[in-house]
Structure 1
Amino acid sequence: MKIHSLCNLSCDYCYVYFAADQSWRQRPSMMPLDTVRRAADRIAEHALEHRLRSVRIILHGGEPLMVGRTHLSELLTVLHERLDPVVPFHCSLQSNGTLLDTNFLELLLDHRVDVAVSLDGAPAAHDRHRRFSDGRPSHPRVAAALKLLGHPRYRHLFVGLLCTVDLANDPVETYESLLRFEPPRVDFLLPHGTWGRPPPGVEDRTRPPHRPPDTETRGDRVPYAEWLMSVFDRWFDAPQQETRVRSFEELMSGLLGGAVNTEAFGLAPHDLVVVESDGTLEDSDSLKVVAPGAPVTGLDVFRHPFSDALRTEAMRRRQAGADGLGQVCRDCVFTDVCGGGLYTHRHHPTTGFANPSVYCADLAVLIAHIRRRMNHHLMRAPQ
């Protein structure tokens, strides 16, 4: 739920404000309570129709805390009034941390709302991209918020840190700077890119491969794999668990034949829909980097049930597992683990989404590295 469509930071890699889709300009900055009520009723309707045991709601933006404490309190009250009699729901909030203070934390505590914060590393690393619009650094405010969030009274609300990979930052230093705040979980995100607009550092990637990558010869440059492998080794070799790293744990689970429960990897059916501040229903936000209108479904909470979103072409394709992938991905040994990578990252201007991820070579090398490390560890384990 995009409860606020604006942000108080001007992060230069943002997929909302600096991407192809600029629809945020035509939407209300704050989600009105009437829209919240209608969205909540649609959630309840969907839960009853499909006999769901629980629902997960993510309060998102922009920066969701820009709605202010009063509106956020009213919004959360509406969700509880509409949903508590129907289905248990778990609510979390994704924030840049700059507005998070004791007053907000008390409110989130009262309503049992978990908090994830975006942090890209040490001050210089974080502030390279994540600055206020006037150029001021944001790290001091985020660090202060994380100190509050780490207080024993609020610690159980802290679900983790999101860190966008920047090749300019030292990987191990970045990881260790995140550990300073004792996060229960860290997730590393690849910067959004497509075959039409490759990510930083791999501008030569303009043509999808015609066959699965060879992880042994490593003919392609794989700077993102190298960055993440350095973090993986530091994390995996720690004498005791310092934090959980979602991306690594999901890949390890897939390699062991288990479930992969993240949008970025695996073949699990896509189960996310975005409610924009005006009540329109959209596919994943990251699709905004593809083209104007790329996430559009033509649906909204006023006229359509959520089940209609399941019938859109994009959603059907993303629910099809391996059958929804291109031939190169279906032929790859890591199909079940990688799942073709994030849907957005597969896009090419002429072939659409029937391609491997623009990070294909990086993902293959990273997964192969994790498999080797796991196999070596298991062989050394006492029988």
Structure 2
Amino acid sequence: MSGTAGTSPATVPPAGPVTPVPFGQFIIKVHGRCNLACRYCYLYEGPDSTWRDRPGPASDAVLDRAAARIAEHTATHRHQEISLVLHGGEPLLAGAGRLAALAGLVRARVPGPCTVRTTLQTNATLLTDARAATLAGQGIRVGISLDGGLAAHNTRRTDHAGRPAWPAAARGARLLAARHPEAYAGILTVVDPDTDPVEVYESLLALRPPAVDLLLPHGNWTTPPPGLPVGAAPTEAGPAAAARRPTPYGDWLCAVFDRWWQAGRRETRVRLFEECLALLLGLPAATESLGLDPVNAIVVETDGSIEQVDSLKSAYDTAAATGLDVFRHSFDEALRHPGVAARQAGAAALAPTCRACPLLTVCGGGHYAHRYRAGHGFVNPSVYCADLERLIRHIAARLADAVTGDGP
């Protein structure tokens, strides 16, 4: 079965009821279109087509109602801090002033004790000094999406006329680092195993990011990412099978980890590595890619629809849909959606192979979207199972060397 509206029986946790974890991250789609046409974009080039029937910019009514729903949820659950993410498409198409106004509106609506930490995720091509100043003035931090720090790394990031995005994106990143470092959140880069990992990492360092997020491309067992076997089945996952599968993504990440580790972790933060280290040490960590912490993010689309996170759209059409919207439904109602419950069920929602794995508490089954297999839902190991084992065991070995005095 392909599933509809994210409610396939395969998405429902196999165990008993789960106590919902209130949402703490609210992703608002302020604009549903993008000024770029990246050839690998899972959102606009993938199986989900729901964006085509939605308005480009979110209306004032949608943004006002979203802010009210966020305040309602925050008050109900007595949050001390929440995350507001301004997203798209390309959110700067909505205008920096409108983004700043939305951030101010949410801050004004939530109860006084609650801190709102606001981030904008952008391709940086529309960043100017004036826009960056407007965002910084409202305490909005800016995350930039790039494929690397050189023009050669970004050849697939073009506008709708086929023109390269790199010159404008690089200018925006350098402007932010030089003129508004307090608003610079960091760079998000998707791993490409065909690139030189150390070259990509060092090229990003030249853009002076305070943090780097390294993400695995959204693939699954039905549509595997480049370099992984086509037609493989989840039964070919797990520790016993890992040695028989190629690990191009794990190898790439291990090379970057060693470069980062040997530099004493001083050059920049790398979230994936820091959180893997924390989980290996038994400390709490929050990431969609590792660990068993429940996902607490929810999305408001430009038409006011309440959806699960965008990564699910890489699985099948309408995979992120809930049938809810901010005009008629609260976020507490979204917490009861079976797709949300499945993502908060921890180990209970994982495949037997994962629950029996010695790396369970660190890997956590990997990213939820990467477990999908048509006809079988999401109760499968990650398509990156072997790559994740390669990375986790590598980091564990480096950590052990450091503890015994054999490492840097």
Describe the superposition over 1:184-216 as per-residue Cα deviations: whole angstroms up to 9, x where unpaired. Answer: 11011111101000001114353112662248x
**SS of residue matched to 1:278:** coil
Describe the superposition over 1:331-381 as per-residue Cα deviations: whole angstroms up to 9, x where unpaired. Answer: 111111111111000000121111000000100111011111110111117
Matched, 1:277 2:302: yes
Matched, 1:9 2:39: no
Moved more, 346-355 or 114-123: 114-123
**SS of residue matched to 1:17:** helix
- Identify the residue that residue 76 of structure 1 maps to in structure 2: 103
Moved more, 139-148 or 298-307: 139-148
**SS of residue matched to 1:351:** coil
- Identify the residue that residue 131 of structure 1 maps to in structure 2: 158
**How many residues are matched?**
380
Describe the superposition over 1:218-252 as per-residue Cα deviations: whole angstroms up to 9, x where unpaired. Answer: 22111111111111111111156111100011111
Moved more, 131-140 or 158-167: 131-140
What is the CA-CA distance between 1:27 and the residue it aligns to? 0.6
**SS of residue matched to 2:85:** strand
CA distance in 2, matches of 1:32, 1:81: 19
Matched, 1:196 2:222: yes
**Aligned counterparts, 1:73-152, within 5 A:** 73-83=100-110, 85=112, 87-151=114-178
- Identify the residue that residue 185 of structure 1 maps to in structure 2: 211
- Structure 1: tracts of 5 or more residues without a match: none
**SS of residue matched to 1:353:** coil
CA, structure 1 residues 124+317, in 2 after alignment: closer, same or farther (shift >3 Å)?
same
**SS of residue matched to 1:273:** strand
CA, structure 1 residues 84+136, in 2 after alignment: closer, same or farther (shift >3 Å)?
farther
What is the CA-CA distance between 1:81 and the residue it aligns to? 3.1
CA distance in 1, matches of 2:71, 2:84: 12
Describe the superposition over 1:90-116 as per-residue Cα deviations: whole angstroms up to 9, x where unpaired. Answer: 111000000011111111122100010
- Structure 2: tracts of 5 or more residues without a match: 1-27
- Identify the residue that residue 358 of structure 2 maps to in structure 1: 333
- Identify the residue that residue 246 of structure 1 maps to in structure 2: 271
- Identify the residue that residue 174 of structure 1 maps to in structure 2: 200
**SS of residue matched to 1:129:** coil
What is the CA-CA distance between 1:73 and the residue it aligns to? 3.9
Amino acid at match of 1:354: V
CA distance in 2, matches of 1:256, 1:275: 35
- Identify the residue that residue 207 of structure 1 maps to in structure 2: 233
**SS of residue matched to 2:106:** helix
What is the CA-CA distance between 1:76 and the residue it aligns to? 3.2
Amino acid at match of 1:64: P
- Identify the residue that residue 181 of structure 2 maps to in structure 1: 155
Matched, 1:35 2:62: yes
- Identify the residue that residue 6 of structure 2 maps to in structure 1: none
> % of aligned pairs identical?
45
Q: TM-score, normalised by structure 1?
A: 0.95
**SS of residue matched to 1:16:** helix
Match of 2:316 among 286, 291, 316: 291
**SS of residue matched to 1:261:** coil
- Identify the residue that residue 58 of structure 1 maps to in structure 2: 85
Q: Does the Cα contact within 8 Å between 1:125 and 1:169 map onto a contact in 2?
A: no
Describe the superposition over 1:15-52 as per-residue Cα deviations: whole angstroms up to 9, x where unpaired. Answer: 21001111111111001111111011101110111111
**SS of residue matched to 1:150:** helix
CA distance in 2, matches of 1:240, 1:78: 37
- Identify the residue that residue 20 of structure 2 maps to in structure 1: none
CA, structure 1 residues 110+63, in 2 after alignment: closer, same or farther (shift >3 Å)?
same
CA distance in 2, matches of 1:9, 1:308: 35
Q: Does the Cα contact within 8 Å between 2:71 and 2:106 map onto a contact in 1?
A: no
**SS of residue matched to 1:134:** coil
Q: Which has the higher contact order (CA 8 A, sep 6+)?
A: 2
Q: Does the Cα contact within 8 Å between 1:54 and 1:89 map onto a contact in 2?
A: yes
- Identify the residue that residue 164 of structure 1 maps to in structure 2: 190
Amino acid at match of 2:217: P
CA distance in 1, matches of 2:304, 2:60: 11
Q: TM-score, normalised by structure 2?
A: 0.90
**SS of residue matched to 2:225:** coil
Q: Does the Cα contact within 8 Å between 2:80 and 2:113 map onto a contact in 1?
A: no
Amino acid at match of 2:208: E
What is the CA-CA distance between 1:11 and the residue it aligns to? 1.0
What is the CA-CA distance between 1:164 and the residue it aligns to? 0.7
